C-alpha cells in the first residue's frame, strides 16, 4: 500500500477518534494529491478537520469543508420542509443512510452528504411527485426501478425510494426487503415518520454497502461509516439478531470481514498489520471511490463470464430487470423482445460514451 493511502487512513482515523495528528508527519504529506484522493472518496471535510487539529491550513480542503457544512444544512432544511408536506398529506416516510449516519460523527460536517434518501409510501408516488415539483424540483428519474430522483439547482438532489431494493438487485436482498414495513418503528413527535431499530439500520447499511461492493465497488467512507456506527452503537446492539439477519441475506462473511477490517484500519492512529485477505479487501475500497467505477463493474463480471457470455447477458437481461429498465414490458412477456430493441437503441443514441467504455473494458479484462 502506498504512502498516499496510508496518509488518508491516518487522517481519517485521527478525525473520528479525536486525535491530533503529528504535525511533522502532516507537513510532509503531498496535500495536492491527498486532496484529489479525499475528493474521490468524499471525505475532504473529515480530512480538513484532522489537518486543522495539526495546525495545518489548506485552502482547497478548507473550502471543501465549508461547502460540505453548508450543503448538509441545506439538505436538512429541504428534507424537513418536504417531510412536513408528507405529514400534511398523510404519506409515511423514513430518512435513510447519510442523513442518519452524519449525526453519529463527532463533529458537524465531518460526514459529507451528496443527497437526501427517503423511503416512502409507494402508493403515494404521484402525490409525492406533486410535492417535489411544488418545491421547485425537477423529476430526473421517475417511475422506473425502486427510486425516483429529483434535482434542484444548484446542488440539491433527493432520492425518494419506493423500496429499499428492486427486483434487479440480488435475490436475497430483494426478497428480504420486499416487506420493509415489517421492520419499521414509529417515530415519536410526528404522525407518519418511521425509523429502523439500531440493529436493522446496521443490517440495511451492510446490505446496501454489499450491493455497491459487489457491483462497481464502494469507497473508504463505507468502512469509516461502519467503524463510526459500531463505535457509537456497538455495545448496545443485539449481535445475535444481526448475525441471523445477515445469514438470511447471505452476507454473514462480508459483514464480519468488513467490520473486522473497519476496526483494524480506524481504531488506532497506528496502521495495524493486515492479513493478505484484509489487504486485498482494503485495496478494493481504496481504488473504487465513493460510487465505484464503471471499470470495476465490468472487471468483476468478466471474472465469471467470457466475452460472449458478457454481451449476451448484457443484452438479454432477466425479465424482472427488463421490467425495471423498460416498464412497459411488465405488461406482457411478449413485449420482452421489444424491450431488448428499446434498450439497445437507447444505448446507441444516448449512451454511446458508456458503450465505448464498455467495449474497451471488455477488451482489457475479457477472456
**CB-neighbour burial class of residue 55 (10 A; exposed 0-12, middle 13-18, buried 19+):** exposed
Distances (CA, A) of 189 to 9, 88, 90, 97: 39, 14, 15, 21
CA-nearest of 157, 162, 194 to 178 is 162
Give the pLDDT of residue 144: 78
Three-class secondary structure of residue 341 per DSSP: helix
Q: Is the pLDDT of residue 292 over 80?
A: no
Fold assignment, 73-196: Beta Polymerase; domain 2 (3.30.460)
**Is the Cβ–Cβ distance between 93 and 83 less than 8 Å?**
yes
Residue 34 pLDDT level (bands cut at 50, 70, 90): very high
Residue 360 pLDDT level (bands cut at 50, 70, 90): confident
CA-nearest of 56, 54, 44 to 19 is 54
Comma-separated ranges of CATH 3.30.460 domains in the chain: 73-196
- Cα-based torsion angle of the residue sequence 132, 165, 287, 108 in order, rounded to the nearest 10 degrees: 50
Could you report the per-residue pLDDT of 130-153, keeping only the tens digit for each?
A: 999 999 999 998 887 789 999 998
C-alpha–C-alpha distance, residues 194 and 121, integer Å: 11
Q: Is the pLDDT of residue 303 over 80?
A: no
C-alpha–C-alpha distance, residues 20 and 142, integer Å: 46
The neighbour count for residue 90, using CB atoms within 10 Å, is: 11
Could you tell me what percent of the chain has a pLDDT over 90?
72
Mean pLDDT along residues 234-243: 96
Q: Is the pLDDT of residue 200 over 90?
A: yes
Q: Is the pLDDT of residue 25 over 90?
A: yes
Give the pLDDT of residue 126: 95
Give the pLDDT of residue 302: 79
Mean pLDDT along residues 143-171: 90
Sign, CA torsion 117/68/134/326: negative
Look at 36-40, 166-170, 202-206 and tell me which has the smallest mean pLDDT.
Answer: 166-170
Could you tell me what percent of the chain has a pLDDT over 70?
99
CA-nearest of 137, 132, 177, 174 to 154 is 137
Q: Is the pLDDT of residue 240 over 90?
A: yes
Q: Is the pLDDT of residue 127 over 90?
A: yes
Q: Is 217 left (phi over 0), alpha (psi -120 to 50) or beta?
A: left
Q: What is the DSSP string of 226-244?
A: HHHHHHHHGGGS-HHHHHH
Phi and psi torsions of 195, nearest 5°: -150, 165
Beta strands in 66-177 (DSSP E): 93-95, 116-120, 138-141, 147-152, 156-161
More confident residue, 364 or 158: 158
C-alpha–C-alpha distance, residues 213 and 342, integer Å: 29
Q: Is the pLDDT of residue 316 over 80?
A: yes
C-alpha cell at 259: 467490520
Look at 14-23, 184-193, 248-257, 333-342 and tell me which has the smallest mean pLDDT.
Answer: 333-342
Could you report the per-residue pLDDT of 75-97, keeping only the tens digit for each?
A: 999 999 999 999 999 999 999 99
Q: Is the pLDDT of residue 158 over 90?
A: yes
C-alpha cell at 3: 504512502
Q: Which residues of 12-37 are buried (b: 16+ CB within 10 A; e: fewer)?
A: bbbbbbebebeeeebeebebeebbeb
> Which residues are CB-neighbours of 214 under 8 A, at least 6 positions away?
170, 300
Bridge partner residues of 292 (DSSP): none
**Is the Cβ–Cβ distance between 189 and 175 less than 8 Å?**
no
Q: Is the pLDDT of residue 207 over 90?
A: yes
Opening angle at CA 357, ends 356 and 363, nearest 5: 90
> Which residues are CB-neighbours of 297 under 8 A, at least 6 positions away?
215, 216, 217
Look at 48-52, 267-271, 329-333 and tell me which has the smallest mean pLDDT.
Answer: 267-271
Amino acid at each position: 500500500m502506498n504512502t498516499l493511502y496510508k496518509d488518508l487512513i491516518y487522517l481519517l482515523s485521527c478525525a473520528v477518534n479525536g486525535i491530533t495528528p503529528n504535525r511533522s508527519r502532516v507537513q510532509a504529506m503531498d496535500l495536492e494529491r491527498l486532496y484529489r484522493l479525499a475528493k474521490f472518496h468524499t471525505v475532504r471535510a473529515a480530512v480538513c478537520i484532522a489537518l486543522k487539529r495539526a495546525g495545518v491550513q489548506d485552502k482547497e480542503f478548507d473550502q471543501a469543508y465549508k461547502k460540505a457544512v453548508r450543503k448538509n444544512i441545506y439538505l436538512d432544511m429541504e428534507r424537513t420542509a418536504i417531510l412536513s408536506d408528507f405529514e400534511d398529506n398523510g404519506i409515511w416516510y423514513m430518512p435513510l443512510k447519510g442523513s442518519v449516519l452524519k449525526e453519529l460523527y463527532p463533529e458537524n460536517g465531518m460526514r459529507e452528504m451528496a443527497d437526501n434518501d427517503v423511503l416512502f409510501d409507494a402508493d403515494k408516488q404521484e402525490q409525492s411527485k406533486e410535492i417535489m415539483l411544488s418545491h421547485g424540483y425537477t423529476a430526473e428519474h421517475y417511475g422506473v426501478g425502486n427510486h425516483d430522483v429529483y434535482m434542484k439547482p444548484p446542488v440539491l438532489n433527493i432520492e425518494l425510494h419506493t423500496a429499499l431494493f428492486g427486483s434487479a438487485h440480488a435475490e436475497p436482498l430483494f426478497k428480504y426487503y420486499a416487506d420493509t414495513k415489517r421492520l419499521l418503528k414509529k417515530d415519536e413527535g410526528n404522525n407518519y415518520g418511521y425509523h429502523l431499530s439500531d440493529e436493522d439500520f446496521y443490517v440495511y447499511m451492510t446490505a446496501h454497502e454489499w450491493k455497491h461492493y459487489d457491483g462497481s465497488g464502494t469507497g473508504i467512507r463505507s468502512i469509516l461509516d461502519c467503524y463510526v456506527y459500531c463505535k457509537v452503537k456497538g455495545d448496545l446492539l443485539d449481535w445475535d439478531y444481526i448475525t441471523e439477519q445477515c445469514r438470511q441475506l447471505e452476507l454473514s462473511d462480508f459483514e464480519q470481514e468488513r467490520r473486522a477490517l473497519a476496526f483494524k484500519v480506524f481504531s488506532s492512529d497506528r496502521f495495524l498489520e493486515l492479513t493478505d485477505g484484509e489487504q486485498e479487501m482494503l485495496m478494493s475500497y481504496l481504488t473504487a471511490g465513493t460510487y465505484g467505477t464503471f471499470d470495476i463493474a465490468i472487471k468483476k463480471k468478466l471474472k465469471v463470464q467470457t466475452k460472449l457470455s458478457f454481451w449476451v447477458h448484457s443484452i438479454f437481461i432477466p425479465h424482472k430487470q427488463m421490467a425495471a429498465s423498460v416498464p412497459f414490458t411488465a405488461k406482457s412477456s411478449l413485449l420482452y423482445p421489444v424491450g431488448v430493441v428499446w434498450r439497445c437503441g437507447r444505448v446507441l443514441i444516448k449512451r454511446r460514451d458508456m458503450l465505448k467504455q464498455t467495449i474497451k473494458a471488455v477488451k482489457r479484462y475479457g477472456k
